């Protein structure tokens, strides 16, 4: 049902569809260890039964309604110290896709895609490191497309936001083109452009909000991310720096 994209150079040229699997990230990781698997291979399913999310969470998705895929990348040009740019390029590509269809799209640090204050897409990036380089990356994407009901009120889908129903195969083609365009920007070393674009659409940037860290609630303003991708929040104590698991957004 999913076609090899005609308009990309390498991304998705090898497309593996499985009707059902536990996790496309797990399957993609296994396949990526085989020499015959090329850079840019996409693994996609209609029914993911044990989806994995960030911070050890699960990812649930209704069969046949959404895009559930993993992209195998070999970003050997990328230094380990710059690996946060994988979050940046991927979330920007999905931002690019969604903002062509609806308004009020933001990236919530580090890489959730929000529309109208609700989560529409989650990304799970799993890297393998060799020496100082990133040798293998599995980029997992769960994009809520036509699903109408969610157990969490904080989740949404493209269909709920726009009132339209989408053809998953066409949307995948568009997604892969955006992913390739942003990935090639990264490969070309356009770090400053990528970072500026990311900050421009960062959720809650420069607005006063309440956060929580170590059971302490505090007010602050997100001012950006540092060179390691850590979140910078300006608080009464000055600028505080947070790793992914160290801070949550309250309101
Ligand atoms: C998150 O927001 O917690 C990340 C969710 C990532 C879900 C996707 S769905 C495709 C791929 N396979 C997985 O098991 N997880 C990712």
Residue nearest to atom 15 of ligand 1 (CA): 52
- The sign one gets for the Cα dihedral 202, 203, 208, 211 is negative
pLDDT at 71: 98
- Ligand 1 pocket mutation pick from 18, 21, 25, 111 by most atoms within 8 angstroms of CB: 25
Q: What is the pLDDT of residue 245?
A: 86
Mean pLDDT of 26-35: 97
The pLDDT, as a whole number, for residue 17 is 97
**Ligand 1 atom with least separation from CA of 25:** 12
Question: Distance from the CA of 251 to the center of ligand 1, in angstroms?
Answer: 24
Residue 21 alpha carbon to ligand 1 centre in Å:
13
Q: What angle do CA 98, 65, 46 make, to 5 degrees?
A: 110
pLDDT of residue 13: 97
The protein residue with its alpha carbon nearest to ligand 1, atom 16, reads: 140
| Res. 5: pLDDT tops 90 | no
Is 12's C-beta closer than 6 angstroms to any atom of ligand 1?
no
| Per-residue burial over 219-233, b = 16 or more CB atoms within 10 Å of its CB, e = otherwise | ebbbebbeeebbbbb
Kindly tell me the sign of the dihedral angle through the C-alpha atoms of 243, 111, 210, 229. positive
Helix H or strand E segment including 118: strand 118-130
Confidence tier at 1 by pLDDT (50, 70, 90): confident
Give 123 Cα–ligand 1 centroid separation in angstroms: 5
Ligand 1 midpoint to CA 55 (Å)? 11
- Within 8 A by CB and 6+ apart from 88, the residues are 186, 194, 195, 198, 229
Mean pLDDT within 205-217: 96
Q: pLDDT by residue (tens digit) across 164-205?
A: 999 999 999 999 999 999 999 999 999 999 999 999 999 999
Contacts of 201 (CB under 8 A, 6+ apart): 92, 95, 105, 106, 107
pLDDT band at 3, cuts 50/70/90? confident
pTM of the complete model beyond 0.95 = yes
**Taking a C-beta distance cutoff of 8 angstroms, is the pair 203, 107 a contact?**
yes
68 lines ligand 1 (CB under 6 A): yes
DSSP 3-state assignment of 30?
helix
Note the residue count of the chain: 251
Contact residues for 35 (Cβ-Cβ < 8 A; gap 6+):
none
pLDDT in tens, 53-65: 998 999 999 999 9
């Amino acid at each position: 049902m999913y076609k090899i994209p005609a308009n990309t150079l390498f991304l998705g040229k090898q497309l593996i569809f499985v009707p059902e699997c536990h996790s496309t990230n797990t399957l993609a990781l296994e396949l990526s260890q085989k020499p015959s698997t090329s850079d840019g291979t996409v693994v996609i399913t209609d029914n993911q039964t044990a989806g994995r999310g960030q911070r050890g969470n699960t990812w649930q998705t209704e069969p046949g309604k959404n895009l559930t895929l993993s992209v195998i990348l070999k970003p050997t040009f990328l230094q380990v110290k710059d690996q946060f740019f994988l979050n940046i390029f991927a979330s920007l590509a999905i931002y690019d896709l969604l903002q062509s269809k609806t308004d009020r799209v933001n990236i919530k640090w580090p890489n959730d895609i929000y529309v109208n204050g609700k989560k529409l897409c989650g990304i799970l990036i799993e890297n393998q490191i060799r020496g100082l380089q990133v040798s293998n990356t599995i980029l997992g994407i769960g994009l809520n497309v036509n699903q109408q009901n969610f157990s969490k009120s904080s989740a949404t889908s493209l269909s709920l936001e726009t009132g339209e129903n989408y053809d998953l195969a066409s949307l995948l083609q568009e997604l892969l083109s955006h992913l390739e365009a942003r990935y090639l920007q990264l490969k070309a070393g356009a770090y400053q452009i990528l970072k500026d674009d990311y900050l421009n659409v960062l959720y809650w940037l420069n607005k006063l909000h309440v956060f929580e860290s170590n059971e302490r609630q505090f007010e602050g303003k997100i001012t950006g991310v540092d060179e390691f991708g850590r979140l910078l929040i300006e608080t009464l104590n000055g600028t505080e720096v947070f790793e992914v698991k160290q801070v949550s957004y309250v309101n």
